[in-house]
Amino acid sequence: MKKHPVIIEGYDGTFEELGRKVGELRYDKLAEFLLHLENELARQAIADKKRGRPKLANLIEGVELTVKDGKIKTERLFEFCKAFMQEELNNDK
């Protein structure tokens, strides 16, 4: 696997389609996705710090914090919407 892949293995759609599909996720699942993205960015920042790349690590940390903020806001959005989604949420059980 390339160090920095330009495609997602196993996914044949465009990034536009992927963005739309991720954006259409129910907000709790979107927040879960953002958590995993946040964690991956944190892992990359730590690795770059260890490799002596503090500027790159700081830039990645900035993106990580932005994703974290988006995750927190998405969680709030889900909490707001839950009242309107009881039937859907009950069907998940």
| Cβ-based neighbours of 52, under 8 Å, separated by 6 or more | none
pLDDT category at 4 given cuts 50, 70, 90 is confident
Residue with tokens 């500027």: 55
pLDDT of residue 2: 56
Q: Return the structure tokens found at 72.
A: 């927190």
Between 67 and 90, name the one with better pLDDT: 67
Print burial letters for 50-81: b (CB count within 10 Å at least 16), e (below 16). Answer: eeeeeeebeebbeebeebbeebeebbeebeee
Mean pLDDT of 4-27: 96
Phi, psi of 53 (to 5 degrees): -120, 70
